[in-house]
Structure 1
Amino acid sequence: MKTVVHRADTRGHADHGWLKSFHSFSFGGYYNPDRVHFGALRVLNDDSVSGGNGFGAHPHDNMEIISIPLEGALQHQDSIGNKGVIRTGEIQVMSAGTGIQHSEYNADTDEAVKFLQIWLFPNARNVTPRYDQQTIPTEGRNNSFQQILSPDKGDEGVWIHQDAWFHLADLSEGSEITYTLKNPENGVYIFVLEGELSANREDLKRRDGLGIWEVQQVNFRAITQSSILVMEVPMLQ
């Protein structure tokens, strides 16, 4: 088993006033040669955008982009005709492929929107750009893993062009659960949304990240009531 730990207070940080962002991996003005990516996982940004503000239209290509609102609502518009609002309890995916432009704004003029923006390298280049969003009901992850993303159309959650699986779990204090990898050659990156827990005996706190590979299972024990995001991804070089 191999591991890498990214404590919350070691992440890159950008404060633009209207945008406060923490970067688990190198992004924008933050560069750490030891933290460029974890396998196919390229970006994990923990963003907070103040009321009425956001990102103007900007381009992407050949990247799988996932947004998960944690608080508030995020307004999206893109160059392939999609326009709408992503709220807490939903997940959005955008396959940039041959190229797409999009904008993201806080849909509320007063309260901040807080969300995770995650980028994965795709397993196929220059695909036709696509967009999707789905509701992820909270009752599906009480002391269990709720799949919210996979490589398979029609499977539970959204799908992407990569052999990756994302799961959310809400754990009660003292509970224990085990995650079994879909592919033992993959790795797992764990991001603690709230609480404290141990993963394969590594103690983690709020917003800590832990990468684990060369394992078949990861055992979790909740020290306090906790919420986690588990991202299984191919271990690209």
Structure 2
Amino acid sequence: MKTGKTALITGATAGFGEACAERFAREGYRLIVTGRRKERLAALQQKLEEGFGAEVMPLEFDVRSREAVTAALESLPDNWRQIDVLVNNAGLALDLSTIDEGNVDDWETMIDTNVKGLLYVSRTVIPWMKARKSGHIINIGSTAAKIVYAKGNVYCATKAAVDALSQGMRIDLLPYGIKVTAVHPGAAETEFSLVRFKGDESRAKDVYTGFQPLKAEDVADVVWYCASLPAHVCINDLVVTATAQANAYYTFK
């Protein structure tokens, strides 16, 4: 059943973003889905339209580019700017290294994507929500925001920034009735580790050996739950892990 509501999901071509797009489509939302990979966006659009009868607006851009973010979002017709839910999902980790041996290019990619990209998208969308005095921003963080682990330095710092920005947004947007939620997943078997280890499938698979990690759909269910609560209820901060995982450091295998 169509709800007449619209969700914008960044990084929608894989992992949490794709699973969230499917969940919101199933619940009758219109979808604005963004990503860098044109072919995957087209495939996602087809899946959402054919599988769920959803109305879909794909936007191809890299959140690291302020100009690209602004141009793409400002190109939306007025009737697509009434965004009810913004899921800031686009993000990544690159490699594991001590701070003195870190790859500066990797640092910049993580900071530009995880922090600045979230800010660029939010900066464009929030004024539309403020004008309507309605909306919900859901920022995808990580258990890495809550506890730093060895060789995770910069990635952990970017997710700690997402945590802090979520708190700041919640305060700033309080007078406008806009909800802000940070969802912090633990280990989840998506493309995350494959990206972190730059295509090393064996190393990526080892991360999840010995226990049952979260699936992307598990996180999408949590995101949907937060978005589906009554207007007077807001989950500000939520950490979700596999049963075998206590936090970013302790996992029982």
**TM-score interval (norm. to shorter):** 0.3 to 0.5
TM-score by length of 2: 0.31
TM-score by length of 1: 0.32
